[in-house]
Amino acid sequence: MTLIPFLIRRILAGLLVLWVVSLLSFLLFFLRPANAVARAIAGKAPTPEVLQLINKRLGLDQPILVQYWHYLSQSARGNLGYSFINSEPVNTIIGQDLPRTASVVLGAVVLWLIVGLSVGILSATRARSLFDRVATFGVLGGLSLPTFVLGQLLLWGVFLQLANNGFSWLQTGYVSPAQSLSGWAGRMILPWITLATVSAATYSRLSRGSLIDTLGEDYIKTARAKGLTERRVVIRHGVRAALTPVVSQLGVDMGALLGGVVVTEIVFGINGLGYDTIHAVIVGDLPVIMGFVLIGALFVVLANLIVDLCYALLDPRVRVG
């Protein structure tokens, strides 16, 4: 099968997923008791006139099908509405938060891939060696350490100690890399380590198990029988095929994490998508919640589309079909 029909099918499937997500999120938040949204905005003991005015301003007095059609048509044009709390466009909120969350996620992905794949490949080629046993112990430690605990330990044990001893470049919060590249990196190091530690442990075990299975395949034995060096057999033939499950996991993880790295953002005061999602849930800001849900679903759909395309590049036995 050619690539174009495959892409068309995957894009249509992704659009279907986004429509289902939009429908479920709309039903979840708008099929609520009468005046529930207006009461949440108006505060304590609002008058019926105030509730009616709020419902009219937000369009909540219209039939439910009209409300959904308006919501769907606006979303399809990229307009995710306005915050109930401060009337700020949801697009503006996402535009401010997305660079912060993306900075944390993309840097952590690079870090955990370098560490996780390196340890996994070395463990697979030296199975049951001292290195493999030490790596297994380290992986268990990484998997058993919650993100919020590791983040707090890094704040107390690293940030406070170094910041008080002349390492002024190490900060918390967020600054744009366009404003100060060193300041941006100094604020991202600890969040990267926090987010990458657990994932690096996961990817280490995943790549190790996949590579051990791949090195037992017949075509690997054939390559060795032809006299190819072990390094070429492992890197060119083994690792390439063994990365397929790793890419699958990476697509899911990146799609989910770009929807908001809640714990890491809160611990380090980054105030990205995850932080504002929690705040929107607390105050009941429905348009912001629904906009973040759609953005998270979009990232998952795009990540899985890229994963499917990478399969054929990594494993010659896989064909797009």
Print the domain residue range for 288.
90-314
Q: Is the pLDDT of residue 58 over 80?
A: no
Q: Quote the CA–CA distance of 194 and 29 in Å, as a whole number.
A: 33
User: In which element (H, E) is residue 70 found?
Assistant: helix 64-76
> In the numeric block, which tokens belong to residue 25?
């999120």
Which candidate, 298, 270, 292, places its Cα nearest to that of 280?
292
pLDDT at 11: 85
Same domain, 56 and 174: no
Same domain, 96 and 217: yes
DSSP lists the bridge partners of residue 153 as: none
Higher-pLDDT residue of 93 and 33 is 93
Q: How far does the chain reach from its first CA to its final CA, in angstroms?
A: 5
Same domain, 51 and 168: no
Q: Is residue 82 part of a domain?
A: no
Same domain, 175 and 60: no
Q: Is residue 321 part of a domain?
A: no
Q: What's the one-letter identity of residue 74?
A: Q
Per-residue pLDDT tens over the stretch 268-307:
888 888 888 888 887 777 788 888 888 888 888 888 888 7
Same domain, 100 and 26: no
Residue with tokens 């304590």: 44
Q: What's the one-letter identity of residue 119?
A: V
Per-residue pLDDT tens over the stretch 191-225:
888 888 878 888 888 888 888 888 888 888 888 88
pLDDT at 74: 83
Q: How many structural domains does the chain have?
A: 2
pLDDT at 6: 73
Same domain, 7 and 99: no
Contact 29, 286 (CB under 8 A): yes
Contact 312, 7 (CB under 8 A): no
Q: Is the pLDDT of residue 316 over 70?
A: no
Contact 127, 284 (CB under 8 A): no
- Domain finish residue from 50, 76, 102: 76
Q: Quote the CA–CA distance of 64 and 52 in Å, as a whole number.
A: 16
Q: Quote the CA–CA distance of 122 and 124 in Å, as a whole number.
A: 5
Same domain, 103 and 37: no
Higher-pLDDT residue of 112 and 171 is 112
- Domain finish residue from 29, 52, 76: 76
Same domain, 44 and 109: no
Average pLDDT over residues 184-189: 82
Q: Is residue 14 part of a domain?
A: yes
Q: Quote the CA–CA distance of 102 and 259 in Å, as a whole number.
A: 9
Same domain, 17 and 119: no
Who contacts 263 (Cβ-Cβ below 8 Å, separation ≥6)?
A: 147, 148, 151, 274
pLDDT at 259: 64
Same domain, 112 and 68: no
Check residue 82 and report its DSSP letter. B
pLDDT at 34: 60
> In the numeric block, which tokens belong to residue 109?
């992905």
The CATH code of the domain that includes 214 is 1.10.3720.10
pTM of the entire predicted model: 0.75
- Domain finish residue from 76, 111, 127: 76
